[in-house]
Amino acid sequence: MTGRPDPTVATPDVPEYHQASHWGTYTVASDGQDITAVTPWAGDQDPSPLLRNLPGSVTHRSRIDGPAVRRGWWEDGPGPSADRGTGRGKGSYLRVSWDDLLDRLADEFRRVIDTHGNHAIYGSSYGWGSAGRFHHAQSQIHRFLHTLGGATRSVNTYSTGALEVFLPQIVCPETDVSRGSTPWSQIVEHTDVWLALGGTPAKNTGTNDGGTGDHPTRGALTAYLNRGGTLIGVSPLRADLPDHPDGGVTWIAPRPGSDTAFLLALCHTLLVNGHADHEFLSSYTVGHNHLNDYLRGHTDGIVKDAAWAAQLCHIPTEQITRTAHQLTTGRALITATWSLQRQQHGEMAIWAVVALAAYLGQIGLPGGGFGFGYGSMNEPGLTQTPFGLPSLPQGPNPVTTRVPVAALSDMLLRPGATIPYATGTITYPDIRLVHWAGGNPFHHHQNLNRLRRALARPDTVIVHDPYWTAMARHADIVIPSTTAAERDDFTGSRNGALLVAMHAATARHADSRDDYDTFTALADRLGIGAAFTEGRTSQEWIRYLYEEWRHRVTTDSAARDLRWPDGPPPSYDEFRARGVLRLPTVPARTMLTDWRADPTGHPLSTPSGKIQLTLPRDGVLTLPDRPHQPTWSAPAEWDEETSHPLHLIANQPRTRLHSQLDHGPLSQASKIAGREPIHIHPVDAAARGISDGDLVRVFNHRGHCLAGAVLDDTLRPAVVNLSTGAWYDPAAPTPVPVGDDSSTYDPLAPANLDVHGNPNVLTSDRRTSSIAQATTGQWVMVQVERYDPARWGPARPVRAHDPAC
């Protein structure tokens, strides 16, 4: 989308308020109770269509009106939910006063800490609840829990978990790749051939954590192709690539899960055809001879050539050899979206991307090398400001226990179990209290039926949320939070170089409160109020954070010499009046260019200071799923192809950010009879008697859901696409057993049919490997059939957005 989204433009006679979110900078018009219209920031060349979801969001019927407590917990006390008559995910809620709720909540924190210790609290805030620098759910809950004595918390992300853990072991930290990525300007000017694993889906680049300003991706892609650049996109979905009237775009659609084999075959073809850069490999990498042996089949007797990969990828041999040749015709860039590592053995796909770039020998040269995340978020490709932005101090966490975020269900179901992780091990704590703010794991997490069993185990689950999401419906204590439109704040991101004042545009909805006010009242009851607030109200904190940052960047000698596009940062009051402050940026630089120029003076953070094409076999590295070099292993999910023959791609939706504002106008307009759309190739639809617009049942052995069929010939046959983010809505929630024994729980029972189309009832809770323990939720094997009401009964209407209390 280019230009301003017409349905959201405000009329001139209505006052506007500066606002910002993860998907843009804008002003909103308000009637005092809700957002009525949105106008994108004038400096945004391609405003995100997600802005269309904002009008009507403040007073939507799915808002939580006031404090609510599950009747079973209130009357019977804390304990695993299956021990009470009204367990999580079912039963009724009571409306209670704020004072009564906070008193009981303080008592429960004291009980858990005194009896089990702070490590028995799991304090999570995985999500994109607000882009604000102060009203940031993760900062708020972590500051509170750290002041209280600490809590177990998650590490890594669902988006980049494998990259975060594994990339530093072989080349450099993930943040160096995302924040220090080669900028669009250099790609447009210098790159000749761009091999994009996962494509370059511009729909994902509308968003950025911490907020965003300009959206340059579509313009940069157009400029690159106009210059004559070649884009080779590797994805089962043609929609992951741009269209261009003069060509320049090649679509390769391998079988999902085969990317590593494709990359290794490219390396082999370069090697045997004499196109591998041996001088670069010898000077800048460690272990290339071992990888050469593996590619040639000396290690396991299997030559990793194009013919071998073609059988695994289900694409022609000639397509692989032709791609390898194209990469040698000019400056080549190898990139992968985050989707590539969100699958079993995702670490190997990462390693193979880096290895292919090393074989080409152009890492550190303008427009060459590798990158991750282009097409996954707005951050890669943007230049960054050289200093940090204001943030609420969280303080140190006295509890050192950390658990990978994708291991949430496993942690709750197997307390005391020890798992390998990174270069060591982790022992799961015995979690008794889950405190969640600012996220919805029923969107992010996999195998939702297992997650429901896991959430039945703790004594107490507390959730802060503005809306009755599935996570709120599985809580014992539901705390109604405000949205960004209801409070003052400011936000910004280093990549994108913008700081934006956020003005409260509406009154607080019903009896909701800012999380800061909730935590302040709870901290007072627990005797840590002064330490938590430091004597400041929220307005005083916002002013303090800005002014402290302003003083820091204007007195630092390096920052003082920078060119500020709008002049030096003004006073807080002037900043709020302006609304937008553009920040200075560092000069555009190719990633790893300093290391390329002087590898001794600027070594990488790896043990050798070079790119590791092999890793040592010691300690936990001797585990079977931790190979010595980039290695091909077939995903276990392929074993299910006989009974569930369709590859389901569970990607980011184009009509919302994750599950946020699923009830919004843009998101709702994409539904088919109220259900999430599933795209299916006409050949696969015809074989199943499915027509466009039919209600279908999507299923495997983990669960089943309903969706609306959309016939689409722009995806690979035997592939279906059901995006994430539809709010989980089981037909009739049933009791779940405590523990990991699912013998009394049938995920395929009619009552457990998700009627809305959430693909995570189908995805596997299996993790990438023992290296990163990251998510594998990108794709899964399924079967699709027309919905049969004679077997399953009339399809229940979607009620996910109705209030629970």
Give residue 497's identity as a one-letter amino acid code. A
Instruction: Give me the sign of the Cα torsion angle 462, 464, 470, 471.
Output: negative
Q: Is 471:804 a contact under the CB 8 Å cutoff?
A: no
Q: Kindly name the residue from 41, 126, 184, 308 that is annotated as catalytic.
A: 126
Report the candidate in 578, 564, 556, 584 with the shortest Cα–Cα distance to residue 497: 584
Q: How many CB atoms lie within 10 A of CB 329?
A: 10
Look at the block and give the residue holding tokens 């109604």.
Answer: 480
Q: Kindly name the residue from 17, 26, 74, 128 that is annotated as catalytic.
A: 128
Whole-angstrom distance, CA of residue 222 vs CA of residue 233: 15
Residue 106 parent element (H or E): helix 98-116
Alpha-carbon distances of 44 from 3, 179, 217, 495, rounded to whole Å: 9, 20, 11, 14
Whole-angstrom distance, CA of residue 412 vs CA of residue 140: 23
Distance spanning both ends of the chain, measured CA to CA: 38
Q: How many CB atoms lie within 10 A of CB 682?
A: 14
Whole-angstrom distance, CA of residue 544 vs CA of residue 551: 10
Q: Which two tokens stand for residue 260?
A: 């590593």
- Helices 515-525 and 538-555 cross at an angle (nearest 10°) of 110
Give residue 35's identity as a one-letter amino acid code. I
Q: Is 408:448 a contact under the CB 8 Å cutoff?
A: no
Whole-angstrom distance, CA of residue 675 vs CA of residue 797: 9
Look at the block and give the residue holding tokens 């190739």.
Answer: 681
Residue 500 parent element (H or E): strand 498-502
Q: Is 731:706 a contact under the CB 8 Å cutoff?
A: no
DSSP class of residue 387? S
β-partners of residue 37 are 29
Residue 74 known to be catalytic: no
Q: Which two tokens stand for residue 395?
A: 């303080």
Report the candidate in 198, 180, 204 with the shortest Cα–Cα distance to residue 23: 204
Look at the block and give the residue holding tokens 């282009």.
Answer: 374
CA torsion angle for 615, 618, 624, 629 (degrees, to 10)? 10
Instruction: Give me the sign of the Cα torsion angle 309, 311, 313, 317.
Output: positive
Do the bridges between strand 35-40 and strand 24-30 make them parallel or antiparallel, or are there none, so unpaired?
A: antiparallel
Whole-angstrom distance, CA of residue 262 vs CA of residue 272: 16
Alpha-carbon distances of 277 from 294, 350, 419, rounded to whole Å: 17, 20, 39
Q: Is 18:61 a contact under the CB 8 Å cutoff?
A: no
10 Å CB burial of residue 608 (0-12, 13-18, 19+) is exposed
DSSP 619-671: GGGGSTTS-SSS-----GGGGGTTTS-EEEE----SSSSTTTTTTSHHHHHT-
Whole-angstrom distance, CA of residue 589 vs CA of residue 365: 10
Collect all residues with Cβ–Cβ distance below 8 Å to 499 and sequence separation of at least 6. 389, 490, 491, 492, 569, 575, 580, 581, 583
Q: How many residues does the chain have?
A: 805
Supply φ then ψ for residue 620, to 5 degrees: -70, -10
Residue 126 known to be catalytic: yes
Q: Which residues are annotated as catalytic?
A: 126, 128
